[in-house]
Amino acid sequence: MLKSKAYIEMEYIPQAPPFEMIDELLSATEQETVTKFTVRAGHLFVIDNQFTEPGLMENMAQTAAAGTGWKAAQTGLSAPVGFIGAIKNFEVNYLPKVGDTIISKIVMQHQIMNAHIVQGSITCNDKHIAAAEFKIFLQ
């Protein structure tokens, strides 16, 4: 059973305000993680009323971190710290605006020791807006 937003932010991801890019963990399994984030005025990655490309990248990375943190919590462990080693095939179709809610999904592709290859995608109003492949290393 998923827990409240505040619990997720404190336990599943290492980021703290103002660097949080997810509001809620919607679902998590061994292979897939889905989060929600509403773009707010004054956010670190909002420029000219739009959530920028670095914000989209960080949102996908934090979605991956939330899934890893959730998996660790299922076995009583703390969320591990991860580092992005590479980002490939980053594409953006359009930037969400202040007030838009984005849904981000991370799907595990491969894991070799502490290296995880994941595919991220973001939708807004049921439209595909961004995607990327991440190589993430866990400590």
- As a whole number, the mean pLDDT across the chain is 88
The CATH number given to whatever domain includes residue 42 is: 3.10.129.10
State pTM to two decimals: 0.89
Cα separations (Å) of 22 from 11, 43, 63, 65, 77?
A: 13, 12, 7, 10, 21
* Segments forming the whole domain that contains residue 126: 5-138
| Structural domains in the chain (count) | 1
Residues 66-113 pLDDT 10s: 998 888 888 888 777 888 999 999 999 999 999 999 999 999 999 888
Residue with tokens 């890019």: 21
